[in-house]
Amino acid sequence: METTATQLGSTPPPTSPPSAVRPSTCDGTLGRHLARRLVEIGVRDVFSVPGDFNLTLLDHLIAEPQLNLIGCCNELNAGYAADGYARAKGVGACVVTFTVGGLSILNAIAGAYSENLPVICIVGGPNSNDYGTNRILHHTIGVPDFSQEL
């Protein structure tokens, strides 16, 4: 006859929680993680300009009940709004799209950086599968090299 830990009076080994209690693996996306982390550091409003390379992220930010997504008419305005928000609230955040967005927001982010303001600027980009395909994508300068924004 086998002797178990319970029969010997010790605590049985822990068991895994039922699958209904485990977090869903489909909930573990980068966008969901960014949304949660922004809330954790105190961001409540995110300034953005929607674009084809950030739409999925914006969906995750909208889905976060503690975040308010504020659409801006252009990237420079989004950057300066995040700068002002950081001055008033402690930390600001903005989301723009690849190249046109990243380059347009540059002056606002450089100004925030020069004043040591905590502004988080998230810029969307092409899917990793697009790199090395030698294709010309939307928001590029017409060459298959996607590093011009760097």
What's this model's pTM, rounded to 2 decimal places?
Answer: 0.75
Going from the C-alpha of 134 to that of each of 101, 129, 137, 145, 146, the distances in angstroms are: 22, 11, 9, 8, 10
Complete domains list, the chain, with CATH: 30-123 (3.40.50.970)
Q: How confident is the model at residue 129 (pLDDT cuts 50, 70, 90)?
A: low
Q: State the Cα–Cα distance between residues 104 and 109, nearest whole angstrom.
A: 10
User: What's the DSSP call for residue 10?
Assistant: S
The whole-number pLDDT of residue 117 equals: 97
The whole-number pLDDT of residue 21 equals: 37
Residue 66: both structure tokens together: 């503690």
The whole-number pLDDT of residue 93 equals: 98
More confident residue, 127 or 95: 95
